[in-house]
Chain A
């Protein structure tokens, strides 16, 4: 037996095995107590100066956004740059952008949970919080982009004296249901998952107010076996409910476009393409938030490890390539359809730039060629650097790329909405869109709101799912007997 396998290199095999051996999810061999200590302390110790500085920057931005919103509601949608034919522009672009960002949270919490991807545990809390806050920001736009927001309740099936129902054929109505369901389920999921950790904070609380508040929100959690059983079941069920929502919400949002007759919108590949794009953009935002958080709180580096970042970069690479494929396919379908209107939108409204493709096809440049090519550069070309492992471990490169992705995903929605609308069927109605300070201010303001909410979250809620992390610690493994080497008394070596 040994003689004929003499060529077999045992050493090499061991080397390979070592390479594919799992890197621990929590590095530096931290103990459960260490986890509790390091995460809880973020909400307990004196508010750091940077936090005050940060919130004093973000909250006026949010306030300015609300001022822009107030101006728009009191004066009219006309304070934005929308017009005939561009009836939607930054408003719906921003809506889809924020909704997309909200996707990673649910994907991490639900799908990765069901598929037993344990690496999710250290990032799911923050990602879910991001989802909630992003959906809050997203919700502002469809609610307030309407001409008469005081009648927006017509969108809800509330019994009224007119006996008029909503139009159930309208994708915008589906949006209302999809987004509100998504928000509700995400909020529940986030909250339910947080209960054991809230109880931990309650137990550690020294002030009355904290005891009282965490006491209320931890719902009387005592960590009993029965509690854990029911908690696990509830969490599983919510994960089950959330999983289709990950796919449905952005599919429904894409129906706004896909079910219309407008060339550039009327595209059947939109649902998967939007979902891929949303996950793509969502992960980019998770990294955008967590890398600085990790830098501010170095102790988190043992929880949110390079392995996490590496995995998220891989997802970005995958979904970015899917999105790139969708862009190519859209273009192909437009050409394949033979419809001059479809071809026009893709070639003449988007692709034709003044330098390469315009001259190549012998057409004048598209007015929004820069938006299209910004989108391609940021979404398709930039993530390709993640093919190289070295780049997936260089935080600077990652930060640059994920921010390009954030911008690129905004451009994607802008390209879909504005470049399709501005020159559609009848050339007589063609126009251009020019944004105004009021809509730019509102968009800017939503970033302020998002970051303010996130800062509050970082300060007052456990930003890492402590209980879940503990389940993936080596000591949680019943087959492991050795005591952890690092019980938290030693400082991490960074």
Chain B
């Protein structure tokens, strides 16, 4: 087989800046080098279960696409072997593709970095208004799933390996027998793909009696139903967080697990950028049962059990003057005195500029009351606008209704596309058993999981980076999803399977999406428009708006009763890392500390200090042994380790979903407890009549931060907005800075001259950082940071180069005992990576010169030189250096069975275990970053590979001139790039025009531990709170800030 590969003419290759920077220069030397370059080691490749030939095909796949314009021709028969690659594909240089990640709430626009055909890194699409280059934890972590060694690789017929052709034949037979679709049912995940909706239409045309059901454990069913009741069926509310001056969150973690897209964070933080005295700032009130990242940002926070939110909303509505006489609210609930009247007054004062958000999983009645409040406050049409409901997917059958149909034997063939209902459907449905009642179940799944058990066909699903698709972004614009790589294990996409039911052959390329695109965009010249669509990743556009007005009344019933005196409330929040359980086999997510508790590898029952005391439970700070409690809801009981979280509501326990998977890959095995069995269709979010008792056992919980108090050290500096206006440089009087002599301290040593044209530095705005940990995962992906496993985290050896320190600040003084944080403490976050000290204490102590300073101001590590004395880490005041205690990249981090000893952590067995990393895992590694071996110290490098890349391209551009200064703000680090709040800003501090220089010039800029004379290159902008001076706790907050300033 000999193919002649035609390259697209340059003009068709799309905009040049999608391509590698080095290529931009396109010098003759560069081309010469290119021709000489040969892919080294190609003959040694041996991907697990993939032949070398296939692998080369795969590698070539996206190379063929590198020009983007050629995308439409992407069929397996046109694969380009890497050895005959096109002249513009430069081995070792990244190629960037625009695509999008299908998500529950919206589709998120992305740009993917690929090296030699391997996608390695996810970034937000910088040109899309929703993303603006930013992403979030989930988008960052998704790349690891693509290379999950445990992902589904085979077609399985009744659990046995089968051929794809057999499946297709059986599928055709099933489709042929389907008749008018009676007995045929589809169960899908929530997604907003116009092509999927188009296929749905075609399928339902062909099989009018087929059932179309959508289930999403964290989906927006309730919010949609409540909105339909409040505003009528033709309109869907769209909130504008950035337009609100006063926000009230009723158990809505809109900056965390409840957010539609990272744009919510940007909208919120855009109103908290206070640069100089007099700048305005929004005010956030949060009422919630547990600390969330949203609660951490609150100016006033009230802790309240989740089932009392309805009572609160009702009391607020009453205070605002809404007639609530017809609403039943069983039981008595009292709130902190003075809170509701002052909150109501504040909301009233901002008519049309306020916004009340309610948790999407709160009961419909609660959401309807919130809608009434918003309407009463004049927010409709201002901070809440309407989207025409026709813009969104038509309603589908809920899973409970589908379960009833199955129970009634009305379903003969069930097609489950994605999701994992056998694991995550509400406990009362008993879905796993229900599913087995259906004669024929076809399951498209990314993993062989709980739902794959007992099905007739399990079909391996393709990752979204392997398949064609489309979606709608949070702003209503149309996004393209294009593959970066052919399906590694020959999986099918959702659209592939649906196309068969719609009577079309399985697509070999983008035909299906092209058809949708043609219908939606109707371009004058198809090829140009399509190529541009793929190149940009989106078509600009927005929602069709619809007038919004409150037409519904208040619900009469539906507000949950107050918790009885002898009962506990168990809340099942979404997990900040596992989401609904989909990231359970993702090692980065497992090891990423929870934003609040900093726990890894398990879920824990969050409990308030008072409730723990009531139950007689004691959590030792210095030990990782946490007492287990037995939680009984109805007839089901489970045991979970407690975690005392200050600021948690009393008699309420939060236990996040997404853990305790029974059939999962090696990473997720044995992590956490599954709480789905406790959920019910009626109460998927909380169970009110629970009993809790001490199980009398303990459980080891691995967390990365033991201590929760700053101990008066003023590491996170904070003040009220009022104080900032009075004294904008309040930070200079804190943390010992007031004792630094004018002109600073002298240094004993001479230091390297910092003479390079660019001087790198960073500023982190604590006022906008919400602590979401997207930076942590972005750093994992960019810098090949290893995962160490639960046992090592327990030993205090997590390897994160950037961590997010969380402190609780109490006005009652600093506490050593968690139980003393009975009342509401405030929570602050502080991202911390290597501070790149100019007088670095680590550098002077390294005996072998393995850590030294570069002339552009970086504290650099020479891994090859490092012998691992750990002296640098000991002398690092910030404790940001990370030591490879074991060969984390080469040895199993999971238990290994050993004769006599039983299960032993693979790391401890060292040379007795198999050495090496699965080939598939290697594919994710950033080729520009060394994978470190054991015995070597590592730490944040300010993404030195990105700096070098920029420097090389600038040098190439400069030629013989000496214009080697890298243009201002032309690139950034992985953490800064991922940050949707824009809190982390990296750049050239020697250039006054750079964003980082401007931030550092602000008066609330300070450096950590500057009394040590270390001259850090990372600085922080102090945090501000905007309390309502009339609130009962306002004085307390002001007092806390004042105490900070003067202690």
Taking Cβ atoms with an 8 Å cutoff, the residues of A that contact B are 71, 74-79, 81-88, 145-149, 151-152, 154-155, 162, 164-167, 169-173, 176, 256, 259-262, 339-341, 344, 363-364, 367, 421, 423-432, 434
Contact = CB atoms under 8 A, between A and B. Distances in A.
Interface string B690-724: 00000000000000011111111101000000000
B891 to A, nearest CB: 8
Interface string B827-841: 000101000000001
Nearest to A421: B874
Contact of A155 (B805, B848, B878): B848
Contacts of A434: 795
Given A76-B887, A88-B874, A146-B868, A425 B1009 contact: yes
B622 interface: yes
Contacts of B908: 75, 78-79
A282 to B, nearest CB: 26
Contact of A262 (B805, B807, B874, B886): B874
Contacts of A84: 796-798, 873, 879, 881-883
Nearest to B798: A84
23 contacts: A76-B885, A76-B887, A77-B883, A83-B795, A84-B873, A145-B869, A147-B937, A148-B867, A148-B934, A154-B865, A155-B847, A164-B848, A167-B843, A167-B844, A260-B845, A339-B1011, A344-B711, A364-B816, A424-B877, A426-B877, A427-B715, A428-B707, A434-B795
B878 A78 contact: no
B884 A147 contact: yes
B875 interface: yes
A167 B872 CA distance: 13
B159 interface: no
Contacts of A76: 884-887, 907, 910, 934-935
B792 interface: yes
A348 to B, nearest CB: 8
Given A87-B883, A261-B1012, A428-B805, A82 B847 contact: no
B849 interface: yes
B893 to A, nearest CB: 11
Contacts of B1008: 426
B260 interface: no
A259 B843 CA distance: 12
A75 B886 CA distance: 7
B870 interface: yes
A173 B1008 CA distance: 29
A317 to B, nearest CB: 34
Contacts of B736: 339-340
Contacts of B798: 84
Given A82-B870, A84-B796, A164-B865, 10 more contacts: A78-B886, A146-B935, A147-B934, A149-B867, A151-B867, A169-B844, A172-B847, A426-B713, A426-B715, A427-B710
Contacts of A432: 622, 706, 796
A148 B845 contact: no
| Dominant secondary structure of chain B at its interface with chain A | loop
B935 A147 contact: yes
Contacts of B847: 155, 166-167, 170, 172-173, 176
A147 B140 CA distance: 31
Contacts of A421: 874
Nearest to B862: A164
The 5 closest A-B pairs by CB, nearest first: A147-B868, A147-B935, A75-B910, A78-B885, A83-B796
Given A78-B907, A173-B847, A426-B878, A87 B712 contact: no
B816 A166 contact: no
B912 to A, nearest CB: 9
A146 B817 CA distance: 36
B844 A74 contact: no
Contacts of B705: 428-429
A261 B875 contact: yes
Interface residues of B, number: 69
Which one of B713, B806, B885, B936 has the greatest number of beta carbons of chain A within 10 Å?
Answer: B885
A164 B910 CA distance: 31
A428 B886 contact: no
Task: Name the residue in A146, A166, A173 with the highest tally of chain B Cβ atoms < 10 Å from its Cβ.
Answer: A146
B17 interface: no
Interface in B873-923: 873-875, 877-879, 881-887, 907-911
Contact of B874 (A71, A154, A176, A260): A260
A417 to B, nearest CB: 9
A222 to B, nearest CB: 46
Contacts of A429: 705, 878-879
A261 B711 CA distance: 19
B229 to A, nearest CB: 46
B866 interface: yes
Contacts of B877: 261-262, 424-426
Contacts of B805: 426, 428
A85 to B, nearest CB: 5
A309 to B, nearest CB: 40
A462 B710 CA distance: 61
A87 B845 contact: no
Nearest to A171: B845
B871 interface: yes
Nearest to A338: B739
Interface centre among B705, B749, B795, B1012 (most CB of A within 10 A): B795
B817 A427 contact: no
Nearest to A169: B844
Interface in B774-815: 792, 795-798, 803, 805-807
A20 B171 CA distance: 111
B994 to A, nearest CB: 28
B593 to A, nearest CB: 11
B846 interface: yes
A177 to B, nearest CB: 10
